[in-house]
Amino acid sequence: MRRAGSLARSFVSFWIDFVLGEDWRLAGGVVLALAVGALLAAGEVLSDSALAVAVAAAILLVLIASVLAGVRRQG
């Protein structure tokens, strides 16, 4: 029973680590950028090109913020 519980915990832990990686904020930020993009797409607010560039820029900013946060944590 204990072994089954340990296996289950390892299984869940593997998937959380696999999906979220080392920084859950980075994963969450990317998901947020895509979600905002989806809303903009649904509302047809921007042209395709503008939407693509805007969402890509948002993902880039999320990565930069994650790196800066990492530097602050180490500093």
Partner 1 sequence: MSFKGVFLEGLEVVFIVITFGLNAGSIPLASAGALVALGVIVGVAVLVRKPLSRVPENTIKFAVGLLLTTFGTYWAVEGIGFFAPGRESVAWPGGGWAILVLLAVWGTLSPVAVRLLRRFRGTRALAEDVA
Binding mask 5-44 for partner 1 (x = CB under 8 A): ------------xx-----------x---x--xxx-xx-x
Nearer to partner 1, 1 or 10 (CB): 10
Crossing angle for the helix pair 24-42 and 48-74, to the nearest 10 degrees: 160
Give the residues lining the site for partner 1 (CB under 8 A): 17-18, 30, 34, 37-39, 41-42, 44, 48-49, 51-53, 55-56, 59-60, 63-64, 67, 70-71, 74-75
